């Protein structure tokens, strides 16, 4: 195992640890991973089983971005816009947490595990306010597919987790 | 002043005349167009069976009208109301712009929208050192900002000055247009709209219907028929780039 692989394992282990809420009380200041606002799938919550997402979300995202940009494949599952639309943290002032604040889903673990990503230098770090607020009740899973003209249409959401806005 | 508006009026009248004349004919082809432009399923990649293009009739393009430019700005969040606050006007994004041509001899004024011409042989792709500048299978020329290093060779290689560079950090981008400091960008032919079977925003916004969007490889598409019947030129055809954007009345 190279040093790179070793450190990757360590970081992953850290990432996995913080996902265990039971540990949080006993071991002090672990990152709090914010609750998403909706479930993609009644069986496993996220677009893939949670354990799988914790370990492999970066790989899925990287493959999907090339598929979308270079080949024009616009499926929803690993769309970054869709992650951001489900995994949001509403704040008391009516705004959403921004990337960089530890309440932002994609900052929560990364701050803890010292992972730095540049995605939100370009990508929007909060859901599109117009799109989210007007139709959140009908479909909390907004994003690319929020566009009713989009062939992907609207993904059925069985239950709404967290605060629906 | 009066002369100019007169000319525009005449152009309008001519245009409405034409519309009236072809209205009955276009009903059926309109239906065909709908079918052709039907969206691929989301998991299906873009294919080289299509080549997307726009035909712009400069005779219908009114001086002083910038509906196509503002539509693009609204759609993608660039321009005067965009997030760039510290860049100079020369530095700011310019995905599409109106260009005015004056014939010095006759004084005849023409305007036209100019943007990425979506070349079949794009010089920007040739010079890119990372492969960020790319042409999709269906002929749409894009910047893959994920691997763009901001060297700006492509900006210099482009004969149409169609690309711009982002000079400052941005926030609150549009969901459909991720944009960030240090990368080059240009017209995407509204790629995410095209993937969904829709028309580019500029085409939709033109009040004179001066722009026709469609598949150049489909002989029955409105754009191919119009090109076949009435022709259309490329800007700088001498460069042999085979552009996807064509103009009439230059």
Determine whether the interchain pair B175/A69 forms a contact, defined as Cβ–Cβ distance below 8 Å. Answer: no
How many other CB atoms are there within 10 angstroms of residue B87's CB atom?
A: 15
The CA distance from A77 to B149, in Å, is 28
State the total domains in chain B. 1
**What digits encode the pLDDT tens for the residues A29-72?**
666 788 776 666 666 778 899 899 999 999 999 999 999 999 99
Mean pLDDT of B158-179: 94
Phi, psi of B248 (to 5 degrees): -115, 145
Q: Please report, rounded to a whole number, the percentage of residues in chain B having pLDDT higher than 90.
A: 78
Distance from A154 to chain B by nearest Cα, in Å? 13
- A149 touches B: beta carbon within 8 Å: yes
**Kind plus residue range of the DSSP H or E element containing A80:** helix A80-86
- Closest Cα to residue B54, out of B116, B8, B98, B97? B116
pLDDT for the residue A38? 65
- All residues of chain A having their beta carbon less than 8 Å from the beta carbon of residue B170 are 121-122
What predicted TM-score, i.e. pTM, was given to this entire model? 0.82
* End-to-end CA, chain A: 47
Asked if B192 lies within 8 A of A75 by C-beta distance, the reply is no
Q: Which domain holds residue B191?
A: 3-248
Q: Do A151 and B144 make contact, defined as CB atoms within 8 angstroms? A: no
Chain B residue closest in CA terms to A151: B196
| A72/B46 CB distance under 8 A | yes
Q: Is the pLDDT of residue B76 over 50?
A: yes
Q: Do the Cβ atoms of B42 and A75 come within 8 Å? A: yes
| Chain segment B18-27, per-residue pLDDT in tens | 433 333 334 3
For chain B, what's the residue count? Answer: 250
Q: Is the dihedral of CA A145, A150, A152, A158 positive or negative?
A: positive
pLDDT of residue A164: 31
* Chain B residues near residue A61 by CB distance under 8 angstroms: none
Which whole number is the average pLDDT over B112-125? 98
Strands B52-57 and B245-248: parallel
pLDDT of the residue at A88: 83
Name the residue facing A70 among B44, B134, B169 (closest C-beta): B134
Question: Residue A131's pLDDT is what?
Answer: 53
pLDDT at position A29 is 61
Mean pLDDT estimate for chain B = 87
> How many angstroms away from the CA of B161 is the closest CA of chain A?
23
Contact flag B145-A122 (C-beta cutoff 8 Å): yes
Question: Which residues in B lie closer than 8 A to residue A126 (C-beta atoms)?
Answer: 172
For chain A, residues with pLDDT lower than 70 are: 1-31, 37-43, 129-165
Q: At what angle do helices A3-18 and A50-71 cross, to 10 degrees?
A: 120
The answer to whether the Cβ–Cβ distance between A124 and B45 falls below 8 Å is: no
Q: CB of B172 within 8 A of CB of A123? A: no
Give pLDDT, residue A139: 41
Nearest CB to A65; choose among B138, B142, B146: B146
Lowest mean pLDDT among B77-91, B183-197, B212-226: B77-91
With 90 as the cut, is the pLDDT of residue B8 above it? no
Say which DSSP state B239 is in. Answer: G
| CATH code, domain carrying B53 | 3.30.70.20
Please indicate whether, in this complex, the C-beta atoms of B46 and A122 are within 8 angstroms of each other: no
End-to-end alpha carbon distance in chain B: 22
> Across-strand partners of B165?
B184
**CA A93 and chain centroid, separation:** 22
DSSP string, B150-190: ---HHHHH-TT---EE--S---S--TT----TT-EE---TT
Task: Give the model's pLDDT for residue A93.
Answer: 86
Kind and range of the H or E run holding A121: none
Is pLDDT of B65 > 80?
A: yes
- Report the chain B residue with the minimal C-alpha distance to residue A68: B45
Give the pLDDT mean for B109-128.
97
Q: Are the Cβ atoms of B180 and A121 closer than 8 angstroms?
A: yes
Q: What ipTM describes this predicted complex?
A: 0.81
Question: Which chain B residues are closer than 8 Å to A118 by Cβ?
Answer: 180
Q: What is the pLDDT of residue A86?
A: 83
How many CB atoms lie under 10 A from the CB of residue B213?
23
């Amino acid at each position: 195992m190279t040093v790179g692989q070793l450190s990757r394992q360590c970081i992953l282990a850290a990432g996995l640890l913080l996902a265990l809420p039971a540990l949080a009380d006993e071991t002090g200041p672990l990152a709090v991973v914010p609750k998403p606002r909706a479930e993609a799938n009644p069986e496993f919550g996220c677009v893939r089983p949670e354990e799988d997402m914790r370990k492999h979300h970066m790989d899925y995202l990287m493959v999907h971005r090339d598929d979308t940009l270079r080949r024009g494949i616009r499926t929803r599952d690993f769309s970054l816009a869709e992650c951001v639309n489900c995994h949001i943290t509403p704040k008391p002032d009516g705004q959403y947490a921004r990337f960089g604040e530890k309440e932002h889903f994609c900052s929560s673990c990364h701050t803890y595990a010292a992972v730095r990503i540049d995605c939100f230098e370009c990508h929007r770090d909060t859901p599109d306010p117009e799109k989210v607020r007007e139709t959140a009740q009908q479909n909390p899973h907004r994003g690319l597919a929020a566009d009713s003209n989009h062939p992907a249409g609207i993904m059925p959401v069985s239950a709404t987790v967290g605060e629906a806005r | 002043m009066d002369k100019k508006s007169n000319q525009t009026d005449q152009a309008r009248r001519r245009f409405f005349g034409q519309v009236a004349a072809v209205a009955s004919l276009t009903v059926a082809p309109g239906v065909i167009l709908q079918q052709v432009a039907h969206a691929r399923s989301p998991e299906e990649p873009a294919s080289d069976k299509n080549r997307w293009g726009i035909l712009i009739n400069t005779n219908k393009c009114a001086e002083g009208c910038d509906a196509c430019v503002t539509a693009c700005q609204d759609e993608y969040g660039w321009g005067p109301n965009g997030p760039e606050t510290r860049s100079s006007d020369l530095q700011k994004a310019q995905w599409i712009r109106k260009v005015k041509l004056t014939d010095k001899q006759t004084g005849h004024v023409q305007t036209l929208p100019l943007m990425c011409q979506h070349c079949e042989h794009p010089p920007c792709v040739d010079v890119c050192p990372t492969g960020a500048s790319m042409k999709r299978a269906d002929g749409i020329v894009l910047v893959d900002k994920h691997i763009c290093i901001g060297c700006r060779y492509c900006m210099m290689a482009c004969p149409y000055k169609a690309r711009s560079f982002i000079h400052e950090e941005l926030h609150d981008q549009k969901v459909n247009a991720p944009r960030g400091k240090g990368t080059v960008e240009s017209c995407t032919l509204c790629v995410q709209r095209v993937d969904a079977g829709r028309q580019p925003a500029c085409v939709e916004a033109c009040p004179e219907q001066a722009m026709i969007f469609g598949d150049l490889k489909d002989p029955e598409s409105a754009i191919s028929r119009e090109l076949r019947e009435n022709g259309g030129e490329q800007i700088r055809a001498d460069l042999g780039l085979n552009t996807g954007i064509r103009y009439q009345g230059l």
